[in-house]
Amino acid sequence: MTVNQSSSSPKRALGRKRAASLAGCAVTVLLTVTACGGGTAGKTTKDGFAQAPQKDGALTVWVDATRMDAAKLYQQLHPEVKLDIVSYDGNANGSNYLQTKVQLFNRTGKGWPDVVFSSQNNETSWAVDAGFAAPLNKGLISESTLGKFAKGANDVCTVDGTVYCLRNDLSQAVLWYNAPLMKKFGYTVPTTWEEYQKLGTKVAKEHPGYLVGDAGDSFTPEIYLWASKCGANHITGPKSVSVNTTSENCTRMATLLDVLIKNKSMSISGVFSTDFGKNKADKILLMPGPAWYGGAVFKDTLKVPAQQIGAAPMPQWQGDDAPSTGNVGGGTWLLSQHSTHLKAATDFLKWVTTDNAYQAEKSPGFPAYAPAAEAWLKQQDASGYFAGDLSALSAAASQVWPEWGSGQFSQEAIWAATVKPGLTQGKSIVSMLPAWQDSIVKHAKSNGYKVEQ
């Protein structure tokens, strides 16, 4: 590295070079060893956890591509805050990126982001044990603020009465539809699953190529099977789950999907696939999907023009007493226990989850914070993008079937690996339900869950 050109004898130069390289290597070894130690000194217990000594410096915020706007807007409105915005995959589809990184940071004793967004709502299942997520209802966030979140919105963040994350948006599923197209074809929006299936069969005959839904995403079970009250993912305790994928509630929906997939009125590409965007974007008649489909899928990804997409309540099975629907994610924000900028981090967290500047005006999803949700609905009506109002979303917010939980294992990853390849090969979903159950049970067990079948 440090070659001394002025050296007279080549022998001496060689000796120095060797010494330099030896020293370099020794330093490397030392660094490797010391990097393994993480200190716990100088912590004070406040707000329900041991806080690291507070320092000045940039606030590190991890967001996914969609929430990038939120972080940028915050920076714009608060130019005095030093913000280090890092973009990552948001843990989408159970990629577990955040968990992987936090485990590494826990080993090295540094590197944690101060505030992080996750598109999954099962983060508390590991982030609490890993000592990463800070308790929020012990002083950091006031009870009055927490109380204004939609009922049950922060249940996925709560462990033994302590809130460890704040919900960004609710992702209750509704039935999205293309209003002018429905009118043109002379169809009415179905209110029951029986009508929905009939309509799908009709569409397949009368307008082949048009779609009444998509069953190709990893979150397909959360849209359809959750809404049908299929007990595939009933988290009954911190480490126990009940799994039954072959009950009547599951098979009736799987059969419906099989019929529509077979007659091709339901695609199996997945709404974010290149194939869907290229070949099917303008063929959507109906599309059961979560609240964020409105902004993130129709408006931003598929670029459907304004005044076409409307939202109706999710269909129900004939004879069911109460309406029920599913839920796809709905991101959460976590605050790091290790943060050395807790005040700035708390300010950001509070702003991003509750402030109208982002939640009401810019958020593509339905805000979990109720006052922001109201403003958001008004904003959506005023924006004129949707055909009709989005009141179906408000109603659905409280209709999410509560017996589908958020375990440590990713249901989305399991469905993607177990059922999706079979779908592509033309197998029916009904025939794969037992294999699906088997896979859920194995993943749950390997994550230390007690499984009831």
Partner 1 sequence: MTLGHSASGSARRRLSGTDRQSRAGIAFVAAYVLLLIAFGILPTGYAVYFAFTDAGGTFTGFSNFVTTAQDFRFMDAVGHVALYLLFWLVSLVVFVVSLALLLHRLASGSLSRSLRFLFYIPGALAGAASVLVWLFMLDPTVSPVSSLLGTLGFDTFGEVIAPGNLPLLFTVIAFWTGAGGWIVVIYGALNNIPTDVMEAARIDGAGAWQTAWHIQIPMLRKWIVYMVILAFAGGAQLFVEPQLLSLASVGVAGRDYSLNQLTYDFAFQMNNVNGAAAVSVELLVVSVSAAAVFVARSGFFDAD
Give me the helices (H) in 302-428, please: 342-354, 356-359, 370-383, 391-397, 411-418, 420-424
- Please report the beta strands in 112-261, taking only residues with DSSP state E, as ranges in sequence order: 115-118, 158-159, 162-163, 165-167, 169-170, 173-178, 213-214, 234-237, 240-242
Dihedrals phi, psi of 426, to nearest 5 degrees? 90, 10
C-beta of 221 vs 367, nearer to partner 1: 221
| Residue-wise DSSP of 63-108 | E-TTTHHHHHHHHHH-TTS-EEEEE--TTGGG--HHHHHHHHHHHH
14 lies in the binding site for partner 1 (CB under 8 A): yes
Please select the residue that binds partner 1; options are 2, 12, 29, 180, rule is CB under 8 A. Answer: 29
d(CA 399, CA 396): 5
**Binding map of partner 1 across residues 419-448, x = CB under 8 A, - = no contact:** -xx--xx----------------x--xxxx
Task: Give the 3-state secondary structure of residue 401.
Answer: coil
18 lies in the binding site for partner 1 (CB under 8 A): yes
Closest CA to 440 of 399, 407, 398: 407
7 lies in the binding site for partner 1 (CB under 8 A): no
Task: Give the 3-state secondary structure of residue 264.
Answer: coil
C-beta of 30 vs 58, nearer to partner 1: 30
Reading the block at residue 91, the tokens are: 């843990």
370 lies in the binding site for partner 1 (CB under 8 A): no
What is the closest distance, in whole angstroms, from the C-beta atom of residue 68 to partner 1 in the complex?
19
C-beta of 32 vs 45, nearer to partner 1: 32
| Residue-wise DSSP of 224-246 | TTTTTT--S-EEEETTEEE---S
Please select the residue that binds partner 1; options are 10, 42, 147, 186, rule is CB under 8 A. Answer: 10
12 lies in the binding site for partner 1 (CB under 8 A): no
144 lies in the binding site for partner 1 (CB under 8 A): no
Q: Dihedral (C-alpha) 51, 52, 53, 58: value to the nearest 10 degrees?
A: -110
Closest CA to 445 of 234, 241, 247, 245: 241
**Binding map of partner 1 across residues 278-297, x = CB under 8 A, - = no contact:** xx------------------
Reading the block at residue 80, the tokens are: 């005095």
302 lies in the binding site for partner 1 (CB under 8 A): no
Site for partner 1 in 231-270 (CB under 8 A): 268-270
Reading the block at residue 321, the tokens are: 């007493």
What is the closest distance, in whole angstroms, from the C-beta atom of residue 419 to partner 1 in the complex?
10
What is the closest distance, in whole angstroms, from the C-beta atom of residue 411 to partner 1 in the complex?
11
Task: Give the 3-state secondary structure of residue 283.
Answer: helix
In our burial notation (b when 16+ CB lie closer than 10 A, e otherwise), range 190-205 reads bbebbebbebbbebbe
Please select the residue that binds partner 1; options are 50, 81, 85, 130, rule is CB under 8 A. Answer: 130
Stretch that binds partner 1, among 68-76, 210-218, 242-250, 360-368 (CB under 8 A): 210-218
C-beta of 218 vs 337, nearer to partner 1: 218
Stretch that binds partner 1, among 58-66, 242-250, 335-343, 408-416 (CB under 8 A): 408-416
Please select the residue that binds partner 1; options are 370, 377, 416, 429, rule is CB under 8 A. Answer: 416
22 lies in the binding site for partner 1 (CB under 8 A): yes
Please select the residue that binds partner 1; options are 99, 137, 197, 228, rule is CB under 8 A. Answer: 99
Stretch that binds partner 1, among 46-54, 229-237, 365-373, 418-426 (CB under 8 A): 418-426
CB 195 within 8 A of CB 259: no
Reading the block at residue 55, the tokens are: 């320092």
188 lies in the binding site for partner 1 (CB under 8 A): no
Site for partner 1 in 104-123 (CB under 8 A): 104
C-beta of 190 vs 407, nearer to partner 1: 407
Reading the block at residue 292, the tokens are: 């964020």
C-beta of 146 vs 413, nearer to partner 1: 413
What is the closest distance, in whole angstroms, from the C-beta atom of residue 391 to partner 1 in the complex?
32
391 lies in the binding site for partner 1 (CB under 8 A): no
Please select the residue that binds partner 1; options are 4, 103, 383, 398, rule is CB under 8 A. Answer: 103
Q: Which residue has the tokens 């936090």?
A: 102
Site for partner 1 in 30-49 (CB under 8 A): 32
Site for partner 1 in 339-368 (CB under 8 A): none
CB 254 within 8 A of CB 225: yes
- Cβ count near 35 (within 10 Å): 12
d(CA 157, CA 165): 5
Write out the residues near partner 1 by the rule CB under 8 A: 10-11, 14-15, 17-18, 21-22, 25-26, 28-29, 32, 89, 92-96, 99-100, 103-104, 126, 129-130, 216-218, 268-270, 272-275, 278-279, 410, 412-413, 416-417, 420-421, 424-425, 442, 445-448
